[in-house]
Chains A and B, each alone.
Chain A
Amino acid sequence: MKFKWREIGAGLIVPVILIAIWHVVTSMGWVNAQVLPSPLAVVKKWIEYASPYEARDAATTSWLAWAFSGELIRDTMGSMYRVVVGFLVGAGLALPLGLAMGSSQRMYAWMNPLVQVLRPIPPIAYIPLSILWFGLGNPPAIFLIAIGAFFPVLMNTIAGVRHVDGIYIRAARNLGASQTTMFVRVMLPAAVPYILSGVRIGIGTAFIVVIVSEMIAVNNGLGFRILEAREYFWSDKIIAGMMSIGLLGLAIDLAMNKLNNYLLRWHRGLEN
């Protein structure tokens, strides 16, 4: 991979200016450090947050385990775990249902009214029920994330299957394709661009929901940590946590982009 230094450089100008202003504002004492800590304090806290608590005990812990024992790392992994599991559950249920609803008029007639009623309910509104049903810990969080991921994937899968260009179906029928072949080799791949954009929205929603669910149901993870930091007035840690959330979201998005480009390498829209 070749880095485009010019582009990266241009992208750094505005953040650097903002951080400089931030630094001036805080170092001049114009704002209370408890409300807005200096960028240096944030970085310091961030490093502290990411580093292991204690010196390594060579007898009991490996170097790798020690390096990953920092609070930030464990929080990140906890959040990632919930996003991944929740997303897989939600998308794993949405995909077959969406394929069925998209391809069968009857299935659509049965399910669509229910889907339309449930879909506008934001995942956050399920919080009370999720705690009632699953108590505290990972299960309610995963439930909420799954709901967040479910609807975008479902709606896009339905649309994808329904919008398959008739010309492909005609061509496949002309070649003698059976119902199964038509579905697996024609309808499904033709719907992939739609499905992937649903997956992308679904992951985005899952990422929002994980932060919220960690604020209420679990006692680790990035969402929990920034709420905890507020209770101790650790504003530097709040900001460090937020930055971590931003970077994690960016990483997920980049990974999705890579996957998209690979799966849609045949797609016209990606020529540039």
Chain B
Amino acid sequence: MNSTHIEMNPTHIEIVGVNKIFKTADKEVVALRDINLEIPEGQFVCLLGPSGCGKSTLLNAVAGFSLPTSGHIIANGQKVNAPGPDRGMVFQEYALFPWMTVEQNIAFGLEIKGMGKAEIQDRVASLLAMLGLSDFKARFPKDLSGGMRQRVAIARVLALDSPIMLMDEPFGALDALTRRNLQDELLRIWSELKKTIIFVTHSIEEAIYLADRIIVMTYRPGTVKKDLIVELPRSRETSDAGFNALKRELGQLVMEEQQRHHNDELKMAAVD
């Protein structure tokens, strides 16, 4: 075996020459251009960039909701061509089924899998305990806070035991305290279960706090601007000097793209 790859886990998600073009009646938008990424097993990857940089588009392509116009994605050794429970997704808007209780939401994926009743009960009970939801199991989502809802959504994906977890700005709508709380929770679960995570965010601090690797994307067309490994030891401190140095560096990169986004909007306004 090649010595440089000794510490590298085998590739888990492979994104090869992916382009995504959205066509509307009067124009074409190139959302992703020539994306090539290899993500090893167990890596926590953050996709970072301003809105319109195609980070969610890339995540949706891996999830199988919206396939690439050209190129392909291999996940769990198989070409992605549809959504599936091997790539569990946590949505920003929670996407819990409001007519199901917390317990039923978590059990739903298992019922679809055809798991036996007793086994489902055990699994759901342990997930409820893991995420501190046991006292809320009979509630409907409308009776939960945003943070609690997102815990349920995470538990629902964990129930599937999928090796890959896709997260689309999952904590974007939460207040700062709840957010930090859930970030810590997620890190704990990740270190326990060793999942491969792709996490979309526009928060630089969140990316540094969570990720093994940060991929900064450019504004339209979405390309990889910077692909860096976060070397900071865990658990990380946001007040740390190394943390702040990285924050400045990434801040610079993201601001450049944000500026391009802004200019583009001004141009569009001028056309109108």
Q: How far is the CA of A190 from the CA of B97 in the complex (A)?
A: 8
Segment at the interface with B among A40-48, A112-120, A181-189, A211-219: A181-189
Do B85 and A176 touch across chains, with their CB atoms under 8 A apart? yes
B142 on the A face (CB < 8 A): yes
Do A176 and B112 touch across chains, with their CB atoms under 8 A apart? yes
Q: Which of B84-111 contact A (CB under 8 A)?
A: 84-85, 87-89, 91, 93, 95-100, 108-109
Residues of B within 8 A of A189 (CB): 97, 99
Residues of B within 8 A of A177 (CB): 112
List the A residue with the shortest CB-CB distance to B156: A175
Q: How far is the CA of A266 from the CA of B139 in the complex (A)?
A: 9
B160 on the A face (CB < 8 A): yes
List the B residue with the shortest CB-CB distance to A181: B112
Segment at the interface with B among A21-29, A151-159, A165-173: A165-173
List the A residue with the shortest CB-CB distance to B95: A171
Residues of A within 8 A of B89 (CB): 170-171, 174
Do B142 and A271 touch across chains, with their CB atoms under 8 A apart? yes
Cross-interface CB contact of A178 among B63, B82, B95, B112, cutoff 8 Å: B112
Q: Which of B123-169 contact A (CB under 8 A)?
A: 140-142, 156, 160
Do A168 and B112 touch across chains, with their CB atoms under 8 A apart? no
Residues of A within 8 A of B113 (CB): 176
Do A266 and B142 touch across chains, with their CB atoms under 8 A apart? yes
Residues of A within 8 A of B71 (CB): none
Would A268 and B108 be within 8 Å (CB), given that A167-B91, A170-B91 are in contact? no
List the B residue with the shortest CB-CB distance to A176: B85
Do A268 and B142 touch across chains, with their CB atoms under 8 A apart? yes
Q: Which of A256-272 contact B (CB under 8 A)?
A: 265-268, 271
Residues of A within 8 A of B96 (CB): 171
Do A175 and B99 touch across chains, with their CB atoms under 8 A apart? no
Interface size on A, residues (CB 8 A): 22
Residues of A within 8 A of B109 (CB): 175-176
B119, chain A: closest CB distance, angstroms: 17
Cross-interface CB contact of B95 among A167, A266, A267, cutoff 8 Å: A167
List the A residue with the shortest CB-CB distance to B101: A266
Do B142 and A267 touch across chains, with their CB atoms under 8 A apart? yes
A192 on the B face (CB < 8 A): yes
Would A171 and B91 be within 8 Å (CB), given that A176-B85, A186-B97 are in contact? yes
Would A170 and B99 be within 8 Å (CB), given that A175-B85, A266-B140, A267-B142 are in contact? no
Q: How far is the CA of A266 from the CA of B83 in the complex (A)?
A: 27
Do A174 and B97 touch across chains, with their CB atoms under 8 A apart? no
Would A171 and B112 be within 8 Å (CB), given that A176-B85, A266-B140, A267-B142 are in contact? no
Counting chain B CB atoms within 10 Å of each CB, the highest count among A185, A190, A192, A266 belongs to A266
Do A266 and B98 touch across chains, with their CB atoms under 8 A apart? yes
Residues of B within 8 A of A178 (CB): 112
B124, chain A: closest CB distance, angstroms: 14
Do A174 and B85 touch across chains, with their CB atoms under 8 A apart? yes
A197, chain B: closest CB distance, angstroms: 16
Do B97 and A171 touch across chains, with their CB atoms under 8 A apart? yes
Residues of A within 8 A of B82 (CB): 173
Question: Can you list 28 A-B contacts (CB < 8 A)?
Answer: A168-B95, A168-B97, A170-B65, A170-B89, A170-B91, A171-B89, A171-B91, A171-B96, A171-B97, A172-B108, A174-B84, A175-B88, A175-B112, A175-B156, A176-B84, A176-B85, A176-B109, A176-B160, A185-B108, A186-B97, A190-B97, A190-B99, A192-B99, A265-B140, A266-B141, A267-B99, A267-B142, A268-B98
9 A-B pairs with least C-beta separation: A176-B85, A171-B95, A175-B109, A266-B140, A189-B99, A173-B83, A167-B95, A266-B99, A174-B89
